[in-house]
Amino acid sequence: MGGAIDSLTWNNRELVNSYDHGRELQMACNSNTYAECYNPTEAGGRDDSDHTKTYIQWIRAHGNILESEVHPAFWLRPGAHETRDTTINGCTRGSAALNHQMTYKYPFHKKVTIGTHGIDNCIEYVSNFTIGGDWPADLKFIQMEAPAGYMAGDFNQIYYFNPKTVSMEIHKTDNHPVVLSTHDNLNAVGVYTPPGQDSDIPVKYGAHVFRLGTFDNDTGKWNVVYRKYRTHGNQPVQYVYKTYICVGSLGIVSNCLHKIMQMI
């Protein structure tokens, strides 16, 4: 899986859906216009099967820290076509991949710390994207998932954590941390990214439940999305983002988010 995280467990329970290379817990980026038609993806591409086209530069694991640097695969291989209908005008069913290589020439680097700021069930995830090369000329901005997490099929309840009331709400808001939970609230994952990081458009928390018919195929997705306007020229630029992931029951996740938001 190209160094992406395909397993995260809590209380003897697997949280991550690792059904294919597009799921996992991972970094990815695309443009507002062309989505999967130009989409470096840490774990690998749509057609990679057992062997990812992501190139691993190195991986280090020591104590509670996991760190890696990879050249991610493009989601679509050169000459491949999109198979889904989407609302993205430039990348609908039948659209051709815009990338000319299978692997992105610039690195994705991450540093993951399990247990941070004295909170054992809080993960610090630092995403470092190098953006450069032949991105489509007419895009408005590049959007980076820093990161995205695809959870097991029964994570189908979406909440938003309100730090003022220290409570979970069901009404969507882009500026409140998002939480995915099982129906019984015994297993949950929540995500928070501190304000003031480098983004030309306000940071967006996303959440969506995909019901595709089987437990291994069903998934709940959360992500943290940063967006940057394209810089002049194609010289590589680095963007670094810090995100905190809380795991536990819904009550434990609520407490974790409250603590980390007070500290950061």
pLDDT-based confidence at residue 124 (cuts at 50, 70, 90): very high
pLDDT of res. 24: 96
241 has a pLDDT exceeding 70: yes
Output the CA–CA distances (angstroms, integers) from residue 111 to 26, 67, 241, in the order listed: 12, 4, 11
Domain count, the chain: 1
Tokens of 60: 């280090």
Q: What is the pLDDT of residues 218-230, one digit of tens each?
A: 999 999 999 999 8
Q: What is the pLDDT of residues 14-58, one digit of tens each?
A: 999 999 999 999 999 998 889 999 999 999 999 998 889 999 999
Is 78 part of any domain?
Answer: yes
pLDDT of res. 89: 75
Q: Which CATH number characterizes residue 200's domain? A: 2.70.98
Least confident window among 13-27, 85-99, 152-166: 85-99
pTM assigned to the model: 0.95
pLDDT-based confidence at residue 212 (cuts at 50, 70, 90): confident
pLDDT average, residue stretch 52-74: 97
8 has a pLDDT exceeding 80: yes
Is 172 part of any domain?
Answer: yes
pLDDT of res. 14: 96
In angstroms, the CA 72 to CA 163 distance is 35
In angstroms, the CA 61 to CA 42 distance is 18
Is 3 part of any domain?
Answer: no
Contacts of 89 (CB under 8 A, 6+ apart): 33
- Stated length of the chain: 264
Least confident window among 189-193, 227-231, 242-246: 227-231
Tokens of 46: 């749509």
Contacts of 28 (CB under 8 A, 6+ apart): 39, 40, 41, 42, 72, 75, 144, 145, 147, 148
Mean pLDDT of the chain: 94
Is 88 part of any domain?
Answer: yes
Is 4 part of any domain?
Answer: no
Is 134 part of any domain?
Answer: yes
Q: At residue 252, what are phi and psi to the nearest 5 degrees? A: -65, -40
pLDDT of res. 32: 84
pLDDT of res. 234: 67
Measure the CA angle with vertex 175, ends 173 and 177; round to 5°.
90
Is 87 part of any domain?
Answer: yes
Cα-Cα-Cα-Cα torsion 11, 16, 17, 23, nearest 10 degrees, comes to 180
Domain that holds residue 109: 9-263
Cα 225 to chain centroid distance, Å, stands at 8
Tokens of 176: 């409140």
Residue type, 57: Q
pLDDT-based confidence at residue 84 (cuts at 50, 70, 90): confident
